[in-house]
Structure 1
Amino acid sequence: MCKIWGTTPSTTKLMVFEASSWTTHPYDEDVYVDIRAKATPSRTRDLVLDNMGDIQKAFKEHGLVANVRLEVYDGPDYFHVPPPSSP
């Protein structure tokens, strides 16, 4: 995923949900992939859609049908509260 998006592992989290038990036609997906990405000028609609297709292909290589959803956010409107650091 980092290669597809040009990111690093420290900033990339992949959340995948097994979906075969709660999905039906027309999707019949095995996994639901939910991506959130910072909006940047280089992330045009066409680039994002192409990258989402590449994510689907990566899952297909493992025999999985992926339903990929992505939303972008604007940096100033993003909030995150990580767990406290260990002493």
Structure 2
Amino acid sequence: MTLETYGGLAAVTNLRRPPKVLDTDALSETATAELAQLLTEAAAVPKEDQAGHARDAMSYTITATAGDRVTVLEQSDAAMTPEFAALLTWLKKHFAQQ
């Protein structure tokens, strides 16, 4: 699973940060189940289109690969569902532990 972040104040220079990669094979069974549930919930809720964009908002792309199936979720600070936020928070927590 990867997390890409871009935008924010760095958007002026149009830089993307290197993607963070989570080795899901190294997760405990409990953590794997929790991640799968969060991913399912985030993917099931359609993102509402919002006309406005925050100037310095961060944008996030979460990519999950399972076999030949790839799930890509994209949202930003300006328009983020609670389900996506929960998944993002979980990922950030686990990246901080690496």
The bucket for the TM-score relative to the shorter chain is under 0.3
Q: Please give the TM-score of this superposition, normalised by the length of structure 2.
A: 0.26
Q: Please give the TM-score of this superposition, normalised by the length of structure 1.
A: 0.28
